[in-house]
Amino acid sequence: MGGITFGYLARRLTVFFLTIWISATLIWLIPRVAPGDPISAMVARMTRQAGYVENSDVIIEGWKARFGLNDPLPVQYLRYLGNIIRLDFGYSLAFFPTPVNEIIGRALPWTVGLLLVAITITFLLGNFLGALLAWRQTPRLIKYIIPLGMIFTSIPSILAALFLIYVFAYMLDWFPMIGSYARGMQPAFNMEFIASVIKHGTLPALSIVLVSFGYWTLGMRGMMVTVEGEDYMHLARAKGLNPFYVLYRYMVRNAILPQVTALAITLGTLVSGQVLVEYIFSYQGMGTVIFTAIRNQDYTVIQGASFFVIVLTALSVLIIDLIYPMIDPRITYERK
């Protein structure tokens, strides 16, 4: 790959795996320092439903032994590391005997699809509007309208989701309130199912876009203003080049790279915001899985779902970092 040395690639891969290891350690440790345990929580739910569970103490101890929760923490940790290397997260504690990989396998495609759509729209829309704000040829009316559209930037995505549900699902009835596709419909690769998925995913994606695009707009405007004063900009105008050509070829192309860097940094924030959005819309993604697992103190599902989200985020950052030379040929990691 042009501009990238083997040494640089090795360092980036080392940081990539080190990030995953540290993150995997944290998601193993945090649930265990919280009060209570998943087995007691499961028996408590059974007690609330049935009114009484006979020999509950024996059941709790038996299940703890079954899942190895009575083992010393170092033993549990080493067993956990061995399992994640094999991508084996065991069984769900709350929905035994359902394997964790089965739960993740059903939810992961929904989260990846929604995240890709939301990030793509947010990044392109925000940078486009930021470029328009800084471009001298932009009509004054548009420069007044764009800041008005950024009022949602100051609120959390969960509040934007509630607002969109109330307006577009409850009052106008244009979109469904919850779900990933129409109830009773079987997943299939046909236009009816695809249309249902798009309709159900519009509001969740829009709630992420509304609260995120403003940051890209302001960042792009700031970079465009910086580029505006460069010598090559004065030369381009002195040569009489088309203003739109100058905007795209000289301003946007030179201002976009820091935005790509910011995208890599903020991916984790976008993912965390999507978790709450998915739960609000009862979207069948990783957000709903993680929220339900936390509520049920389901250690194995929390670990498995969080691990895959972390891997996706770290992999995205790695890919963005490696494609820098493709975006701007002036960037190279080769030694001079």
106-144 tens-digit pLDDT: 888 888 788 888 888 888 888 888 888 887 777 888 878
What interhelical angle do 299-322 and 286-295 show, nearest 10? Answer: 140
The C-alpha atoms of residue 138 and residue 129 are separated, in whole angstroms, by: 10
The overall pTM is greater than 0.75: no
Instruction: Please report the pLDDT score of residue 34 as a whole number.
Output: 65
- If we measure between CA atoms, which residue out of 302, 334, 275, 230 comes closest to residue 111? 275
Residue with tokens 């302001």: 218
Helices (H), 135-176: 140-148, 157-164
Q: Tell me which DSSP letter residue 151 carries.
A: G
Query: pLDDT tens-digit profile of 236-260?
Result: 778 878 878 888 777 887 778 778 7
pLDDT at residue 261 is higher than 80: no
Closest CA to 159 of 115, 120, 208: 208
Q: Which residue from 228, 258, 270, 211 is spatially nearest to 135, judged by alpha carbons?
A: 228
For 32-56, write each residue's pLDDT tens digit. Answer: 776 666 666 666 666 665 555 566 6
> CA 321, CA 312: separation in Å to the nearest integer?
14
Q: pLDDT per residue over 183-199, tens digit each?
A: 766 666 777 777 777 87
- At 335, which amino acid appears? R
Alpha-helical runs (H) found in the chain: 6-33, 38-50, 56-66, 73-85, 100-134, 140-148, 157-164, 191-228, 231-238, 243-245, 253-280, 286-295, 299-322, 324-327
Intra-chain end-to-end CA distance of the chain, in Å? 17
Question: What is the spatial distance between Cα 258 and Cα 149, in angstroms, rounded to a whole number?
Answer: 23
Task: Check whether 326 has a pLDDT greater than 70.
Answer: no
The tokens for 292 are 């339900």
The SS3 assignment for 167 reads: helix
Q: How far apart are alpha carbons 34 and 36 in whole angstroms?
A: 7
Residue 185 per-residue DSSP state: P
